[in-house]
Amino acid sequence: MISELANLAGGEHYLALLLVLIFSCILLSKSIISEHVNQERFWITLLACALLIVQDLTENYAQTDPARRDLRMISSIAGYILRPMAILGFLLVVWPSGRPSWFLWIPFILNGLLFGSAIFAPLSFSFDADYCFQRGPLGNAVFYVCFGYLVMILYTIHIRFKDRRAGDTFIIYLCALGCIGAMTVDVLFEEITLISAILISSMVFYLFLRTQDMDHDSLTRLWNRWTFYEDCRKNGNAVTAVASIDMNGLKKINDEQGHDAGDRALKTIGRGLRAVMDRKRIAYRMGGDEFMLLFFHCSEEEISKTVKAFLDEMRKAEMSIAMGLAKKQECADSLDEMIRVSDRRMYEQKSEYYRTHDRRRLR
């Protein structure tokens, strides 16, 4: 049987198996130190894809001999259950951590019950007297479930990463669309390209998360100083305003309440900035208690609303910050000048704060 399975294996099986082995090694040797995702969720997709390879080979083996009817029935049912499971695993990976996800399993369970009933009733599929596969009236349900999961993946990526730069998320959208294309090929030609497409997409998303960790500040989850300079270099002409932000009284909090309290204060500022972020408004932690907010192609009204929303959040959180804002039209369209002006205005606010709140800093 083993030699016969080896003969039935095609190039797509070897590619899928290679991807399983590579991704397994990546997951075992690395870990994602991030609030983005639980690494364990990747294993759902990986396990489902590995089993799909075995299932496809087994089904190819069983369909060559009518005496293997029961084996073909079981392997076919397994294939229809594992396909949505592989895509569900990818959806759980992109699904926000901490959000309820139990309802995502409902279509998968209903699909399993439907195709499991093929043993008793031909609602999903059956084999005729000539041992030919016959799709039942509900036989396409598995593809609707898979398609629904893929649409949810695209929507979830859009919602979760809407504040990311378009170039960063384009490849993720492309992977999800590639899975839809592979599923279409799977429906029309009964190939197993879907397995490879899902594995490649999962690996790319894993690498995307690793890249996000390198580009982000680990404490506040804002973009870091290096990314700020890269964005200024690549997209400086699109910046219409710059806000320099500095926390007041961090040293006092660290001295009197400890560095954990200081870290919590910085995280609060980070949450406030993330709340106003999108692809036109990007915030960075420059280091210590210093932050920058860049506005890309924003109108005067958008800039004012963003600043007001952030300051309102800081007042609600009882956080004291100094902010300096500089706009493009007042700085001769120079990004460097905008940064200098916003820094100067921020330090003026900060000096005023310490003149009235902490005279010891002036000695």
Per-residue model confidence as pLDDT tens digits over 50-97: 888 888 888 888 888 888 899 999 999 998 999 899 889 888 888 877
User: What is residue 292's predicted lDDT score, i.e. its pLDDT?
Assistant: 95
To which H or E segment does residue 294 belong? strand 290-296
Q: Where are the alpha helices (DSSP H) in 282-334?
A: 300-316
Q: For residues 57 and 110, give the distance between their C-alpha atoms in angstroms, rounded to a whole number.
A: 25
User: DSSP of 154-210, one letter per residue?
Assistant: HHHHHHHTTTS-HHHHHHHHHHHHHHHHHHHHHHHH---HHHHHHHHHHHHHHHHHH
Considering the chain, what is the average pLDDT of its residues?
A: 82
How large is the average pLDDT for residues 261-287? 90
SS3 state at 104: helix
More confident residue, 62 or 169: 62
| Residue 111 confidence (pLDDT) above 80 | yes
Residue type, 295: F
Q: For residues 199 and 252, give the distance between their C-alpha atoms in angstroms, rounded to a whole number.
A: 50
> Which tokens in the block code for residue 133?
């596969």
Is pTM beyond 0.85 here? no
> Which tokens in the block code for residue 277?
């972020």
> Which tokens in the block code for residue 347?
């330090």
User: What is residue 192's predicted lDDT score, i.e. its pLDDT?
Assistant: 58
